[in-house]
Amino acid sequence: MEVVWFKKDLRLLDHAALTAAARLGPVLGLWIYEDEVIGAKDFDARHLGFANECLAELEADLMGYGVRLLRRRGDAVKVFEELWQQTHFSHLHSHQETGHAISYRRDLEVIEWARQRGVHWQEYAQTGVVRRLTHRDGWAERWLQRMSPSPRQAPADLQGVVCDLRSEKICTAMDFGLTLDRSEAMRQRGGSAQGHATLASFLLDRGVGYTKEMSSPVTAWDACSRVSPYLTWGALSIRQCLHAAMDRRRDLLEKKSLGQRIDARWMSSIKSFQSRLRWHCHFMQKLEDEPAIEYRNFSRSCDGLREETEIDAERLEAWKQGRTGYPMIDACMRALTATGWLNFRMRAMVMSFASYHLWLHWREPGLHLARMFLDYEPGIHWSQCQMQSGTTGINTLRVYSPTKQLLDQDPQGIFIRQWLPELAQVPDSFLAEPRNMPGLEQQFCGCVIGRDYPYPIVDHPTAYRHAQEKLHHLRQRDDSKKEARRIQQKHGSRKKSSRQWR
Ligand SMILES: Cc1cc2nc3c(=O)[nH]c(=O)nc-3n(C[C@H](O)[C@H](O)[C@H](O)COP(=O)(O)OP(=O)(O)OC[C@H]3O[C@@H](n4cnc5c(N)ncnc54)[C@H](O)[C@@H]3O)c2cc1C
């Protein structure tokens, strides 16, 4: 009997572990509701809801082949021990996981348990992340090589084990004491079918203006691919996305060669999308190579810059609730809470605001965003949180002005008014800085600053100057320069692959 341990790879197709197991014998699928993972500070009810939807579809897909998917709850080693006592299985298959400290420690415990029980645990790569990477040279070429083979079909030889093993009921947020919020109604739905439909609608229709429209929250919701939660939970694989994009590109070129008119924007949109799929793995590689970045600064010369223990709780809460007095920040934070998603630029802006304007250590704001992002992927997330906080030591410091972002990305206040109903009647000219509205205007539009909408909790120019001074001074130090060299060597991207996308 081959046990396949499903983790964040909840799909039937392009599943290396399932394919390999099916070649060896009858398969039993296993999913574990791990209390420690679900109870962690970065986990939210929305993640469980999405995972359960993926699981329901996977269970039905596997059932089509007569393969059972057992659900069990508890500590992974205890679950494996119980299953072993019941079946004496000898082979365990799963994908490699580049997760957080909890899953990393859990995997080490499972290795030790498997060794003691004589169980052969085989792990398979599912992304472009390379285990035990010695250096970054040639990484992009390696990524391309790994992604080149076509996605795997469902294993032809897949068959199940006849058994009457106990399976846990579907565990919901309530079983873990997690609170459901508004996002239940507005978040993306889980499952591979939904993932493929999302990808197809992006590549065939929504994505045409991707390159231009990805930055504004007014257009990004439709123009971005929105495949991120499916990638995080493995309902789609990176390879499936990449190959779908390559197929689409070929179709377009064929149409063009036949003299049909195609929208010229498609080519750059598809190219940008493909690059981002590589970034996905590039960022995850950083956590794989240096797991400590989940907790501590990339650049150790930034230690002490902001103290984790000295978080200003009032500022943090105002930021979380979308009550900072900066409409662009507040609209983003409220939209995120309600939907589980934000586009890249807005994520970068809210994180940079927490770090530079509110001068909060990145860890607590990062944990809040992790809970809110349906697509929370530790490798991307913690690298990005640190990048937007100036602690990676190598990236350009970028302090976003929320006022400028509003004027650039939502000059008519479409997104702002959607998420901040108290500003619905505020004239366009005052939307970026409502506190500048004359008193009478405030009365007329039903938004009195300080009563209906807060005064800004910090002054942008002052906060900006303070952040710039601190960071620029720090970057001049010898220890910072030394750290920057080390980080660039270990994590920095190298020259682009010479092979181009086909
Ligand atoms: C502070 C911060 C935290 C973030 N946390 C996460 C996270 O937890 N999980 C996550 O998937 N992305 C994260 N991102 C990256 C990015 O914002 C999201 O991947 C993107 O917004 C997801 O929407 P999409 O699928 O429509 O992306 P698209 O723009 O359509 O891109 C397609 C895919 O490429 C990958 N990708 C896109 N941008 C990036 C990027 N900058 N870095 C790495 N991969 C990228 C993602 O897998 C994404 O699904 C974060 C960015 C910031 C600034």
Q: Do domains 191-289 and 294-491 have the same CATH topology?
A: no
376 alpha carbon to ligand 1 midpoint, in Å?
9
- Ligand 1 atom with minimal separation from the 214 CA: 29
- Whether 348 lines ligand 1, by a CB cut-off of 6 Å, is yes
pLDDT above 90 as % of the chain: 91
- Ligand 1 atom with minimal separation from the 376 CA: 8
Domain boundaries defined on the chain? 2-126, 191-289, 294-491
Nearest CA to ligand 1 atom 24: 226
Rounded to whole angstroms, the Cα distance separating 254 from 183 reads 42
483 alpha carbon to ligand 1 midpoint, in Å?
26
End-to-end CA distance of the chain: 40
Decide: helix, strand or coil at residue 29: strand
Rounded to whole angstroms, the Cα distance separating 377 from 399 reads 24
Residue 502 has pLDDT above 60, yes or no: no
Nearest CA to ligand 1 atom 6: 381
pTM: 0.97
State pLDDT tens for residues 144-179. Answer: 999 999 999 999 999 999 888 999 889 999 999 998
- Whether 127 lines ligand 1, by a CB cut-off of 6 Å, is no
Of 178-182, 286-290, 311-315, 479-483, the poorest mean pLDDT is in 178-182
Q: Best substitution site from 238, 248, 344 to test ligand 1's pocket, by max atoms within 8 Å of Cβ?
A: 344
Angle in degrees, 0-180, between the axes of helices 238-257 and 139-147, rounded to the nearest 10: 80
Residue 494 has pLDDT above 90, yes or no: no
- Ligand 1 atom with minimal separation from the 282 CA: 43
Give residue 204's pLDDT: 98
- Ligand 1 atom with minimal separation from the 348 CA: 53
Q: Could you tell me which residues come within 8 angstroms of residue 69 by beta carbon, excluding any fewer than 6 positions away?
A: 6, 29, 30, 31, 55, 58, 59, 62, 63, 167
User: Residue 211: how many CB atoms within 10 A of its CB?
Assistant: 18
Q: Best substitution site from 228, 282, 339, 399 to test ligand 1's pocket, by max atoms within 8 Å of Cβ?
A: 228
Name the architecture of domain 191-289: Alpha Horseshoe (1.25)
- Whether 231 lines ligand 1, by a CB cut-off of 6 Å, is yes
Residue 8 has pLDDT above 80, yes or no: yes
Exposed / middle / buried, residue 259 (Cβ in 10 Å: 0-12, 13-18, 19+): exposed
State pLDDT tens for residues 342-372. Answer: 999 999 999 999 999 999 999 999 999 999 9
228 alpha carbon to ligand 1 midpoint, in Å?
7
Tokens found for residue 496: 């682009």
- Whether 270 lines ligand 1, by a CB cut-off of 6 Å, is no
- Whether 277 lines ligand 1, by a CB cut-off of 6 Å, is yes
Superfamily of domain 2-126: HUPs (3.40.50.620)
- Ligand 1 atom with minimal separation from the 207 CA: 30
Rounded to whole angstroms, the Cα distance separating 143 from 156 reads 27
H-only helix segments in 64-98: 76-87
497 or 382, which is more confident: 382
90 alpha carbon to ligand 1 midpoint, in Å?
38
For the segment(s) 294-491, the CATH number from 1.10.260.40, 1.10.579.10, 3.20.20.140, 3.50.50.60 is: 1.10.579.10
- DSSP element (H, E) containing 489: helix 478-491
Distance of CA 106 to the CA centre of its chain: 21
- Whether 385 lines ligand 1, by a CB cut-off of 6 Å, is yes
Rounded to the nearest integer, the mean pLDDT of the chain is 95
Q: Best substitution site from 294, 375, 396 to test ligand 1's pocket, by max atoms within 8 Å of Cβ?
A: 375
Amino acid at 293: I
429 alpha carbon to ligand 1 midpoint, in Å?
32
- Whether 374 lines ligand 1, by a CB cut-off of 6 Å, is no
- pLDDT bracket for residue 492 (50, 70, 90): confident
Tokens found for residue 473: 């001074």
- Whether 339 lines ligand 1, by a CB cut-off of 6 Å, is no
- Whether 18 lines ligand 1, by a CB cut-off of 6 Å, is no
Give residue 495's pLDDT: 57
350 alpha carbon to ligand 1 midpoint, in Å?
14
Give residue 496's pLDDT: 55
Give residue 240's pLDDT: 98
The DSSP result for 217-268, as a single string, is: TTTHHHHS---HHHHHTTSS-HHHHHHHHHHHHHHHHHHHHTT----THHHH
Nearest CA to ligand 1 atom 49: 228
- Rg over CA atoms, the chain: 24
